[in-house]
Structure 1
Amino acid sequence: MSTKNPLKRPLLASSAAVALLGTAALTIPAGAGATANAAAVTTVKICLAVTTGQNAEVTVDLPQAAIDPLLSHTPSYLGPCASYGTPSALGNGTVRTYAQLEGSGKPVSIGFVFPKETLQNLPATMTDQHHCYDVDGNGTVDEHTECMGGHERPLDLPAALTNSPGIPYKWALLNFNKMGHGPTGIYDTQHFDFHFYTQSKAERDAIRPGPCALAINCDDFATSTKPIPSQYMPAGYIDNGVSEVAMGNHLIDQSSPEWHNQLFTKTFIYGAYDAKISFLEPMISKAYLDGLATGANSNGCFPIPQPQAWQQSGWYPKDYCIKYRANRGDYTVSMENYQHS
């Protein structure tokens, strides 16, 4: 018979929380007076963390005055504690998915998280050659023009998320593009694609290679470019027929700065297949992520253009967010500000 105490972990976390609260109390400026008293009335949900290990975290509501000291002196973070997917190796680190949920099951944040080391020693080649096709039939494959997807990392989503009602997201996919991809002069710079799939992985995997568009089977190209009904088409997006093997079509935000003679830094893409939205995708340059850690760029959230309606009911984000957490030494790329449709 096991003698392990099932309450040991939460008790340890609670003890740690008391210690962290002491840290917060010591670091609140003396003489804060009325400001501190007013802040003490307002409470904020925070995940108290002793280390960056998930087992040492506990969700609590704390006075506003305690939040900044905790975020400065500990690896704590805002919102309820996260659950995580399985990590996958990349660069000198890993990448995995995470989800923060309210008690009701409503998502607060769904995203990717990876330590700063992940951006070091990244793959040096154009692609991992998982999705190639000899488009010109010359007997060889040019990885620059006949291979798609860069270096991909399929990822599972946390079970706590996928088991919640109203969640349309089934899995996630990270692509690292060492030399970017087309169109030339737009997205041909080193960047990451962060996909949140509403399409099943089996259906995505069945999108075959072939000679059409971006190395995609011509019948699958036709399926992927079926028109999205107008009420489900995101506002301001257009279909340029940018359909890709093992991915499907990409709908483009024509108002994004890179389409108006500005350098690409970040944008939001919608994927489509068989007349349905198949994935939601923040696309971010490596240079932009590097700039977050150095302070050249600021953490932020950005609006996601919305369709008039969604084909499948559930929780959908109105913002995507890109953040570097100095107290944890990691990045998050997330979808937030959820509304039920």
Structure 2
Amino acid sequence: MARSLNSLRRPVLAAAAVAAMAGGAALALPGQSTATTGSNPTQPTTICLTGSTSTATEVTVTLPQVAADPVLAYTPSYAGPCASYGAPSSLGNGTLRTFAQLDSAQKPLAIGIVFPKPTLQNLPTTMTDQHHCYDVDGNGQIDEHTECMGGHEFPLPLPGALTSAPGVPYKWALVNFNLMGHGPEGIYDVQHFDFHFYIQPKAERDQIRAGSCGLVMNCDDFATATKPVPAQYMPPDYISNGTAEVAMGNHLVDQTSPEWHNVLFTKTFIYGAYDSKISFLEPMITKAYFDGLSSGSNTNGCFPIKQPQSFEVAGWYPQDYCIRYRANRDDYTVSMENFKHS
């Protein structure tokens, strides 16, 4: 560890020099306005200090804001305490992996998925990995467009530091890449990713069978999936429109979201349900939106998540989901943030 800490001295010294040359003015980070850096240049700021994108040399430090800003701008360091990570899974020319940032009291600050820019290159060119298919019309053949669901799925373990923290209801994560999207037709049938954070244990989710109802779902399981969620656990403006899917459950959609009003889908937030219970939380984002982040035509941002009156399973729940391209690390993050205990 001593060698790792010594290897980080150069970026800190460089940052101090940059800060001095800047005359004590806080520098804006890539993709952020100067308002996000704070008005007090001496304000203590926690960052994860690192000289590379490897997670092996990350160290949480506190610096004055005036020094933290250039470190974040000109090294692969990032804001907040250092993250814990789950095991990676390969996709495209890169990987997907979960991450979590916790404060000193083990409250989650961010829970999400991180992937380097090359992950979006050389993506699968087939509709599905055929993990969840069913011969709905009984003709002895599988039509990947209509009789398979889930696209290409990537189950991901959450970091152990997160799942062992008190009040954390999330058990695992699932990313789906959908080459040509999925139904409903004219809404979500564009290339996109689904980022699921499951409250439901994976073993239970895996028992949701394929069949001829809903989105290639066993009819008994479809009936279970579409049982109404009690009103106090249902977020405002969300409805069930029968989009229950094999190996996943029901999808509750925000009927006020732009894609339901003749606006091209780019991003949205879904609640999942099974057997009258909220089973997962899901940001859904197009590949084009990510491409726009790295090209500069879209900007990093956080977006509010509509909250039910309460959650049946007590714990920490996000009030925002955030989508970012980190130019200093050449990667993307999709995260749930601004947690409140319910």
* Structure 2 residue aligned with 1:160: 161
- Percent identity, aligned pairs only? 68
Q: Secondary structure at the match of 1:241?
A: coil
SS at 1:166's partner residue? coil
State the alpha-carbon separation in 2 of the partners of residues 34 and 166 from structure 1. 40
- 1:13 CA drift (Å): 3.4
Residue 5 (structure 2) pairs with residue 14 (structure 1): yes
**Alpha-carbon distance change, 24 to 210 in structure 1, aligned in 2, over 3 angstroms:** same
Name the amino acid aligned to 1:136. Answer: D
* Partner SS state of residue 294, structure 2: helix
CA, structure 1 residues 258+33, in 2 after alignment: closer, same or farther (shift >3 Å)? closer
What is aligned with 1:193? 194
Q: Any residues of structure 2 matched to 1:236-255 within 5 Å, and which? A: 236-255=237-256
Q: For residues 219 and 233 of structure 2, what CA distance do their matches in structure 1 show?
A: 25
Comparing 23-32 and 215-224, the one that deviates more: 23-32
Gaps of 5+ in 1: 1-8
* 1:28 CA drift (Å): 1.6
Q: 1:51 to 1:31 in 2, by over 3 A?
A: closer
Query: What residue number does 2:281 align with?
Result: 280
The two structures have a TM-score, normalised by structure 1, of: 0.95
Query: How far apart are residue 327 of structure 1 and its match?
Result: 0.5
Partner of 1:28: 19
- 2:151 is the counterpart of 1:150: yes
Distance 1:33 1:282 in 2: 39
Secondary structure of the corresponding residue to residue 117 of structure 1: helix
Unaligned runs of 5+ in 2: 28-38
* CA positional deviation for 1:241: 1.1
Give the Å deviation of 1:300.
0.3
TM-score by length of 2: 0.94
Distance in 2 (CA, whole Å) between partners of 1:31 and 1:139 is 70
Number of aligned positions between the proteins = 331
- Output the amino acid matched with 2:3: L
Aligned to 2:195, the other structure's residue is in SS state strand
Residue 61 (structure 1) shift: 1.1
Q: Given the superposition, is the C-alpha separation of residues 105 and 207 from structure 1 closer, same or farther in structure 2, using an over 3 Å criterion?
A: same
Report the equivalent of 2:35.
Answer: none
- Indicate how the Cα distance of structure 1 residues 127 and 15 shifts in structure 2: closer, same or farther if over 3 A, else same: same
- Is the 2:25–2:66 Cα contact (8 Å) retained in structure 1? no
Q: Distance in 1 between matches of 2:336 and 2:4?
A: 28
Deviations, residues 12-59 of structure 1 (Å, cap 9, x unaligned)? 3332343222111111253626879x7342111100001111111100
Match of 2:300 in 1: 299
Q: How many angstroms apart in 2 are the aligned matches of 1:93 and 1:35?
A: 34
Match in the other structure for 1:311: 312
Matched, 1:323 2:314: no
Letter matched to residue 19 of structure 2:
I
Question: Which amino acid is 1:285 matched to?
Answer: T
- For residues 106 and 33 of structure 1, do their structure 2 counterparts lie closer, same or farther at Cα, with a shift above 3 Å needed? closer
- CA RMSD after TM alignment: 1.3
Residue 141 of structure 1: aligned partner: 142
Task: Give the partner amino acid of 2:322.
Answer: C
Question: Equivalent residue of 1:46, what SS?
Answer: strand
Partner of 2:100: 99
Report what 2:117 is aligned to: 116
2:71 corresponds to:
70
What is the CA distance between 1:336 and its match in structure 2? 0.3
Q: Could you give the per-residue CA deviations for residues 160-179 of structure 1, whole angstroms, max 9, x where no partner exists?
A: 00011100000000000000
Question: Shift in Å at residue 97 of structure 1?
Answer: 0.4
Which residue matches 2:34? none
- Determine helix, strand or coil for the equivalent of 2:273: strand
User: Structure 1 CA distance, aligned partners of 2:63 and 2:254?
Assistant: 40
Q: Secondary structure at the match of 2:290?
A: helix
Q: Deviations over 1:128-169 (max 9, x none)?
A: 110001111111110000100000000000000001110000
What SS is found at the alignment partner of 1:24? helix
Q: Which amino acid aligns with 1:154?
A: P
Work out the CA distance in 2 between the residues paired with 1:93 and 1:293. Answer: 16
Q: Whole-Å Cα distance in 2 between the matches of residues 314 and 14 of structure 1? A: 35
Compared CA separation, residues 139 and 323, structure 1 to 2 (3 A): same
Equivalent-residue separation in structure 1 for 2:321 and 2:209 (angstroms): 30
